Amino acid sequence: MSHWETGRRVPTPEDVASLLTAAGVTGKEKQRLVELARHASEPNWLTVGMPGIPHQLAGAVECERSASSIVEWAPAIIPGLLQSTYYARAVSIAGGLPAHEVESRVMLRIARREVVVRKNPVHFLALIGEDALRDNIGTTETMREQLQYLLELGSRDNVTIRVVPPRIGWHPGLVGPFVLYDFPDSPSVVHFEHYSSGAFVPDADDVQAYRGAIDRILSVSLSPAASAKLIAQVHDEMESSQ
């Protein structure tokens, strides 16, 4: 059990099935968890969406809860842990979620934000593409509120926001968004979130490659102070345009 908890070993599907039986978990939920266990030891753990909450979303939530630090590169959208309530709702609606699922997804997003504001919060470095600040997700008022929320969270000791300008030539971030999770007692993991699926990559060489990519993206990003100034400027531009 201790090896499972620390990530040194992965439980077999049979182990998971036995534990779920002892815990009284049956039916589709048992089948879902055993299926996750069946693929967890693969070199790249691919999780495919399912009706309701996707597998990869459940995995991301657990990573956020357990991580000691998180680095996210988000070139085109505000990172989920920094999204305001109205922005998260606008994303869910624009993504075509059925009306009855929108509020549950927004509530989940709000709950996920707790990791950056709780006691002993996670250390979060957000690398955000400048286009994400300027793109209209929802109304102008929604974007203004989101930018103000970024400024508030960016003032916290555990949150660092660095904006990456557009049209600065090639850098590794152009390949696509990713999240790097570091854990206190387990190997680090890189997560890629796609439209309807996601992949968790724990391979040490891949993780190291993405640490190098983070360093390269940091080298072309604005400082935290300059990033905050730009966010405030975009906010004011939106306010004056109304």
The CA distance from 23 to 232, in Å, is 51
Fold of 43-241: Endonuclease; Chain A (3.30.870)
Asked if 87 and 31 count as a contact pair (C-beta separation under 8 A), the reply is no
Angle between the 55-66 and 99-112 helix axes, to the nearest 10 degrees?
Answer: 20
How many residues in total does the chain contain? 242
Q: How far is CA 225 from CA 100, 127, 144, 217, in A?
A: 40, 14, 19, 17
pLDDT tens for 104-126 read: 888 888 889 999 999 999 999 99
Kindly state the average pLDDT of the residues 89-112. 88
Selection from 209, 208, 191 nearest residue 200 by Cα: 191
Q: Would you state the pLDDT for residue 210? A: 97
The CA distance from 31 to 50, in Å, is 13
**Tokens describing residue 240:** 């004056």
**Tokens describing residue 235:** 């906010």
Q: Which of 6-10, 77-81, 230-234, 237-241 has the lowest mean pLDDT?
A: 6-10
Q: Would you state the pLDDT for residue 51? A: 43
Q: Would you state the pLDDT for residue 166? A: 96
pLDDT tens for 170-189 read: 999 999 999 999 999 889 99
Stated pTM of the model: 0.79
Examine the pLDDT at 42 and tell me if it is beyond 70: no
For residue 101, how many C-alpha atoms fall within 13 Å in the half-sphere facing its CB? 12
Kindly state the average pLDDT of the residues 31-57. 57
Asked if 197 and 54 count as a contact pair (C-beta separation under 8 A), the reply is yes
Kindly list the domain boundaries of the chain, sorted by start residue: 1-41, 43-241
pLDDT tens for 188-214 read: 999 998 776 778 898 899 999 999 999
The CA distance from 205 to 188, in Å, is 11
What share of the chain in percent tops pLDDT 70?
Answer: 85
Kind plus residue range of the DSSP H or E element containing 19:
helix 13-23
Tokens 């070199």, located at residue: 43
pLDDT: is 111 or 152 the higher one? 152
Examine the pLDDT at 50 and tell me if it is beyond 50: no
